[in-house]
Amino acid sequence: MSSEKIERRLIITIDGPAGAGKTTVSRTLAARLGYRYVDTGALYRAVALAALRADLQADDDDGLERLCRGLTLAFASAEDGSARLLSDGKDVSDQLRSPQVTRMASAVSARPPVRRGLLRLQRELGRDGGAVFEGRDMGTVVFPGADVKFFLDASPRTRALRRFAEVQARTGQSLAEIETAIRQRDANDRTRALAPLRPAEDAIPVDSTDLTIDEVVDQMLTHVSLKMRQTRG
Ligand code: DC
């Protein structure tokens, strides 16, 4: 047997509110580690898109239950390596970011059948480890035993400014509209009865308000390296 220590491929979770930088940070961290990046918000958005297309109300639990049972969601890699989301075999990645889908995603993500359906899928995606999961309840509900958990936050103003820079050209929304929508979505996500957005007790808090992406990722890598040294065996 080789004397090389075997490196266990970890599950890393990054939770936090919209606009804290989770997506860029999670993607960068995953790339630096050679891990898979899983954007769980995209799954909620895909359910929202399917619900809108089926003309369902956001609180129609029976309809959502049926919808989730019949819906097959899967991630695939595009030729350029970017992650695409397939909903019943069709690439819906470019339809997930409209304000309408964003609002519906926040609403349906509070519904029990939706959370139940996606819980199973997310755990399945994490079965082999070696992944960075980005979401709201990754460290608290989906992977309570994750190896390293982060809670990434930033001030609401900073988050609105970042989102503004990102979506303004596409949606034409004003900064004030975006800040209002972010605060509304935060309130929904933090106060819902099921899997509310909150840090896991053992999550490492990271505030990105005054940090660059690289500074955040470097901080996280320090924690991940420490964990890797502890778990090597
Ligand atoms: O991260 P995002 O903005 O793409 O998420 C879309 C919505 O889905 C957001 O309102 C929160 C919800 N969500 C959730 O409830 N749990 C997750 N793990 C990920 C997202």
What integer pLDDT is reported at residue 6 of this predicted model? 62
Closest C-alpha residue for ligand 1 atom 18:
135
- Contact partners, residue 74, CB within 8 Å, separation at least 6: 85, 86
The reported pTM is: 0.91
- The three-class DSSP label of residue 136 is coil
CA distances from 112 to 115, 117, 228 (A): 5, 8, 35
Q: Poorest-confidence range of 21-35, 54-68, 168-182, 192-206? A: 168-182
Q: For ligand 1, what atom is nearest to the CA of residue 96?
A: 4
Quick one: which atom of ligand 1 is closest to the CA of 23?
1
* Listed range (115-119, 189-193, 226-230) with the worst mean pLDDT: 189-193
Closest C-alpha to ligand 1, atom 15: 109
Token reading at 218 = 């470097």
Output 95 or 6, whichever has higher pLDDT: 95
Given a contact cutoff of 8 angstroms between Cβ atoms, the answer to whether 38 and 75 are in contact is: yes
pLDDT at 8: 81
Distance (angstroms) between ligand 1 centre and the Cα of 43 equals 8
What is the pLDDT averaged over residues 127-138? 96
What is the whole-number distance in angstroms between the Cα of residue 201 and the centre of ligand 1? 20
> Which CATH code, of 3.40.50.10190, 3.40.50.300, 3.10.690.10, 1.10.3720.10, is assigned to 11-215?
3.40.50.300
pLDDT at 205: 97
- Contact residues of ligand 1, CB 6 A cut-off: 18, 40-41, 44-45, 105-106, 109, 135-137, 185, 189
Instruction: Give the residue whose CA is nearest to atom 9 of ligand 1.
Output: 106
